[in-house]
Amino acid sequence: MWETALETEPMRAVLERAGSYEQRIMRLFGIPESEIARSLREIEADGVPIETLEITTCLRRGEIEIATVFEPPYADVYDAFRDAIRARHADTLYSEDGSTIDDQVIAALAGHTVAVAESCTGGLMSARLTERGGSSDYFLGGAVVYSNEAKTALAGVPADLIAAHGAVSPEVAATLADGARERFGARIGIGITGIAGPDGGTDEKPVGTVCVSVAGPDGERWDRSVLLPGDRATIRERTTTVVMHGLRRRLREAEAVRRA
């Protein structure tokens, strides 16, 4: 009886329509959700009939995901919507094809090698870079340098640099990145130091203070100091996301230089 129902003409029409919905996903990093909400309102006010699209925005692991479902006749509206998002958020929109930051970084790492020296993330950065099979093609190794002595012994951070700037500082992050490159013989080095909490924060460097650095082979680097919200687990995970985006940026710049 069910199969017969599926074969009736109205049911078929519904199924055909249902089957032909399109879905597109855009991803942005480093932008508050409220800003996307405002953009949606303004894009609609500018005359793009986005009411013909079904748009949902979702904050996920520190990133914004915009998922849009629409019927094929409205593909032009979607393109106009995407172009408007692109124009407004060029600096934070990193994916128009649904690919995740992990997809993009792993694809971009082909032909490169990477190594990590991390403190507050406690191994999660290396774990993220080795999550997928075949990661030994690009990942050489990592040092989890929790104690100051380990930072010096395993990543070559001079003790007086730590004394001068503190273990959580841009200087130490940069030196960790360089140390990771050298110790593992990798093309790219990642350095991470921060305060994941709940203890260890100060007025000057509260819990959530994180300094990261991505160093390439010719002395070029990408550095960032951020103050991340959330509990210990969130701060640790968000830190790896910040680094993944830094890594993507560094790899793209290197690719642009290579092609130029």
Interface residue list for its own copies (CB under 8 A): 116, 121-127, 129-136, 139-147, 149-150, 153-154, 183-185, 196-199, 232-233, 236
| Least Cβ distance, residue 201 to its own copies (angstroms) | 11
Nearer to its own copies, 50 or 106 (CB): 106
Q: What one-character DSSP code corresponds to residue 111? A: T
Contact 83, 43 (CB under 8 A): no
- Alpha helices by DSSP H, 20-123: 33-45, 75-88, 101-108
Nearer to its own copies, 19 or 111 (CB): 111
* Token pair belonging to 240: 């790896």
CB of residue 203 vs its own copies: minimum separation in angstroms?
19
> Least distance from C-beta 241 to its own copies, angstroms?
15
Cβ-contact 78, 50 below 8 angstroms:
no
Q: Which is nearer to its own copies, 84 or 116 (CB)?
A: 116
- Listed in sequence order, the residues at least 6 apart from 88 whose beta carbon sits closer than 8 Å to its beta carbon are 39, 43
CA 240 to chain centre: 8
Q: How far is the CB of 149 from its own copies (least distance, A)?
A: 7
Q: Which is nearer to its own copies, 77 or 144 (CB)?
A: 144
Is 242 within 8 Å of 212 (Cβ atoms)? yes
For residue 175, the minimal CB distance to its own copies (Å) is: 16
Tokens at residue 16, please? 């055909």
For residues 220 and 215, give the distance between their C-alpha atoms in angstroms, rounded to a whole number.
Answer: 6
Complex with its own copies: residue 94 or 139, whichever CB lies closer: 139
Q: How many CA atoms lie within 13 A of 184 on its CB side?
A: 27
Length of the chain: 260
Query: H or E segment at 68?
Result: strand 63-70
* Alpha-carbon distances of 208 from 47, 199, 201, 204, rounded to whole Å: 41, 10, 8, 12
- Closest CB to its own copies among 26 and 235? 235
**Cβ closest to its own copies, residue 82 vs residue 232:** 232
Compute the least distance from the CB of residue 106 to its own copies, in Å: 14
Radius of gyration of the chain (CA): 23
Q: Provide the minimum distance between the beta carbon of 246 and its own copies in the complex, in angstroms, as a whole number.
A: 18
